[in-house]
Chains A and B, each alone.
Chain A
Amino acid sequence: MFDSVFGGLWDRFLASSDQFLSQFWPATVDGLSLGSIYALIALGYTMVYGVLRLINFAHSEIFMIGTFTSLAVVGAFGFSEIGGVALIGVVLLLALAGGVASGASAVALEFLAYRPLRKRGASRLAALISAIGASLFLQQLFARVLIPWWFDVPKEKGALPVQGHFVVREDVIAIGDFVVRNDKLIIFLAAILMMIGLDQFITRTKLGRGIRATAQDPETSVLMGVNIDRIVTATFAIGGAMAGAAAALYFMRFEETNYFVGFLLGIKAFTAAVLGGIGNLRGALVGGLTLGLIEMYGSAFFGSEWKDVVAFSVLVLVLMFRPTGILGESLQQARV
């Protein structure tokens, strides 16, 4: 009996391995594409965390606002059947609009929900609860008020997903099993480019230096003449804008959104930020891509229903051996 159980497990393992190998390339492409979106959302978590030591739970709703902005823009311009180089232009426009909308929302959120707490020296835990409250509020605001009003549907339908189809998908690279579609390629390249740009911004500009200084030591940076409120506002604006751009890429890929679209992605992105080393911009990229790949490989091997279990287990394992994530915490350090 023991033999048969063991044999059965071994057979399953072999079958899983076969399946895994047969899907290695598709899983890699999809993992990198999904991971790029995680990485861009993770930036917002990681920057706010670096400066305020706050898990900004409402960041997922900032992302959601970005997806709805994309939907609005696609509707307003009446885009349809966009492919080829035109798609890059359209995505650029969506990312710009989403970045502005999400960035502004993030700044407003900080001003209304977190600044009063900050001014009173409240505990981080209180700010965390405030963030959860703001997250619920924004979700419900869309589900119950804005979506019904916008799409002119009865209130109870506000929870349903809304779509805007405009993309033509075509394979741009096809070498055997390794097939890359236009939308997935754009997402990956856009994420890398934005990441490099942000990295340069934080390293080279005056504002970037201010952010790093505040992350390292708020008290001293005030004494050195840094305006903390301005720095915090800038941090939320940049993090929000990145989420808005991620939302545009997400919307191009899935062409659909709803009021809780950010919830699961937000949790995953936060996981990615921690995996890479929270507070560390490059960590967000490494963590996001790693998490995306782990999920896709895990799905291919164990079945899609186990992908989150695999992802979180890997997170625990990584943290056991590297307690501050793959790259460590370091928004404050110059090498960021």
Chain B
Amino acid sequence: MKLGTSALRLIAVAGVASLALTACGGGDDSSGGGDVSEVSIGLMGDLTGENSGIVLPIKNAAELAIEEYNATNPDTKIKLIPYDSQAKPEQATALAKQAIKEDKIVGLIGPAFSGESAQVGPVLEEAKVPSVSASATNADLAESGWKYWHRVIADDDVQGAGIGNFIVNGLSAKKVFIIDDKSTYGQPLGATVKTTVEAGSASSQTDSIDAKASDYSSTVNKVKAFAPDAIFFAGYYAQGGKLLKQLREAGVDGKFLSADGSLDPGLAKGAGGKNAEGALIGCPCLIDPEGSAGDASKKFADAYKTKFGSPTAIYSAEAYDAASVFINAVKAGNVTAEDINNWIASADFPGVSKQIKFQENGEIAADDVYIYKVTGETLPLLGNAKEAKVE
């Protein structure tokens, strides 16, 4: 009765000896410092799962940056290794350890989401490998005291405050209904917007939706009863579109706002017809497929379009900047994780999305939030949240 597993285990034990010998025979090929012809940088995020639509532009932009760099025939080339965490924390940590131990990465772009970042952070910290995320915006991440963790995007507190102020100042809303999706992303963001609009002496009410459900009528009924000037949704576009559709179909006509999680043409598609027209989406990110924000932005947008056949999308500019952080560090002659991390601490260069300069805790110094306006199925940039105006 016991032997089924015991046989397996015996085989495993027997296997140890033989495999151990081959492992030793392989020898020691890790080199320490000196002239290095290639270093590996990892990129981690959900590449095949439900949220891969957000992460693939990140991967594309990072690939683009590194390809451009390698094409200049530098002394030390960079190899980009993708790790598909599917946004699942336990997979992400296992992959991070694999990346550190087997692939010997000297830096990591990502992890893309906040949930996985929370678990990968301590691993990278202990391994002393720097990371730069282009999209993990949870505010708590910066409070962990990590020395090797950075992000090139403002956090949700900055974003929430920016959008909240825009709602009370830019839109002069007096009654705001805030809906979150009870996710690690939506709930704190919704809470920040609520505090901000209340500080701006607007009255507010809140409710939550279940991201897995389709019927939001209980929330819709509450919104309808409250009759707000503005509705803020803290969550992702797949739910945002459905919610917006059900709100409009129920005859709710307050201004609809959302944040980076809903910054996707899918919002308009999900809402259907003209329901999404004029919805305003805030984001600490810069999406500028026309390249109207400056020369660097234009150059990046064109190169991206040429290589991938699609316009730049969410977080692609930030991912390009995250990759540039590592590229510039290597260019400056740093090839070990430790040296790269020291270089990042003092980094100060103009990126595509913003000036790249980090605070002590790894946060980016810049705190700009941009507002985008849904027009048809496109999301043109309306302007910086501080000065954007809606007629």
> How far, in whole Å, are A318 and B222 apart by their CA atoms in the complex?
28
**Given A159-B50, A160-B266, A254-B214: A165 and B273 interface contact (C-beta under 8 Å):** yes
Chain B CB count within 10 A is highest, among A156, A264, A303, for A156
Size of the chain A interface, CB-CB below 8 angstroms: 37
Indicate if the CB atoms of B272 and A163 lie closer than 8 Å: yes
Chain A binding surface, main DSSP class: helix
The answer to the question of A308 belonging to the interface, with a C-beta cut-off of 8 Å to chain B, is: yes
B384 at interface by CB-CB < 8 Å: no
Residue of A whose beta carbon sits closest to that of B208: A305
Query: Contact at B52–A156, with CB atoms within 8 Å?
Result: yes
List which A238-292 residues lie within 8 A (CB) of chain B: 250, 253-256, 258, 260-261, 263-265
B238→A34 contact, CB < 8 A: no
Question: How far apart are B72's CB and chain A's nearest CB, in angstroms?
Answer: 30
- Please, which residue of chain A has its CB at the minimum distance from the CB of B49? A159
| Inter-chain contact A23/B52, CB cutoff 8 Å | no
Q: How far is the CA of A300 from the CA of B215 in the complex (A)?
A: 14
CB-CB under 8 A for A261 and B207, given A156-B52, A256-B242: no
- Expressed in whole angstroms, the Cα–Cα distance for A121 and B196 within the complex equals 63
The answer to whether B272 touches A255, judged by C-beta atoms less than 8 angstroms apart, is yes
B17-53 with Cβ < 8 A to chain A: 47-50, 52-53
Inter-chain contact B218/A27, CB cutoff 8 Å: yes
**Cβ contacts under 8 Å, A250 to chain B:** 214
Q: Are B53 and A263 in contact (CB under 8 A)?
A: no
Q: Contact check: which of A30, A264, A265 meets B218 at CB < 8 Å?
A: A30
Minimum CB–CB distance from A140 to chain B (whole Å) comes to: 11
Report yes or no: A30 in contact with B217, Cβ–Cβ below 8 A: yes
Considering the chains assembled together, what is the distance between the CA atoms of A304 and B241 in angstroms? 18
Q: Is the CB of B214 within 8 A of A304?
A: no
Q: Is B90 an interface residue (CB 8 A)?
A: no
Q: Is A169 an interface residue (CB 8 A)?
A: yes
Number of B positions contacting A (CB below 8 A):
34
**From residue B303, how far is it (CB to closest CB) to chain A in Å?**
21
The answer to whether A254 and B242 touch (CB under 8 A), given A23-B221, A156-B56, A160-B266, is yes
Nearest CB of chain A from residue B47's CB, rounded to whole Å = 7
In-complex Cβ contact of A299 among B48, B56, B212, B218 (8 A):
B218
- The one of B53, B208, B218 in contact with A295, judged by C-beta atoms closer than 8 angstroms, is B218
Separation in Å of the A263 CB from the closest CB of chain B?
A: 7
Quick check: A303 and B224 within 8 Å, CB to CB? no
Cross-chain contact of A26 among B50, B221, B249, B272 (Cβ < 8 A): B221
Per a CB cutoff under 8 Å, which of A156, A169, A299 touches B53? A156
Which residues from B are CB-within-8-Å of A33?
217
A157 within 8 A of B: yes
Could you say which residues of chain A place their CB within 8 Å of the CB of B361?
A: none
CB closest residue in chain B, given A154: B56
| Contacts of A112-139 to chain B: CB distance below 8 A | none
A300 near B266 with CB under 8 A, answer: no
Q: Is the CB of A264 within 8 A of B225?
A: no
A209 interface residue (CB < 8 Å to B)? no
Given contacts A30-B221, A160-B238, A256-B214, contact A304 B50 (CB under 8 A): no
**A296 in contact with B218 given A161-B238, A263-B212, A264-B212 (CB within 8 Å):** yes
Interchain CA distance A34-B214 in the complex, whole Å: 10
- Please give me the residue from chain B that is nearest to A157 by CB atom: B53
A sample of 9 inter-chain contacts (CB < 8 A) reads A19-B222, A26-B224, A33-B217, A159-B49, A161-B238, A163-B270, A165-B272, A255-B245, A264-B213
New A-B pairs, 20, CB < 8 Å, besides A19-B222, A30-B215, A155-B48: A23-B221, A30-B218, A33-B217, A156-B48, A156-B49, A156-B56, A157-B53, A161-B270, A163-B269, A163-B270, A253-B215, A255-B272, A256-B214, A256-B241, A264-B213, A296-B217, A299-B219, A304-B218, A305-B210, A307-B210
Identify the A interface with B (CB < 8 A): 19, 22-23, 26-27, 30, 33-34, 155-157, 159-161, 163, 165, 169, 250, 253-256, 258, 260-261, 263-265, 295-296, 299-300, 303-305, 307-308
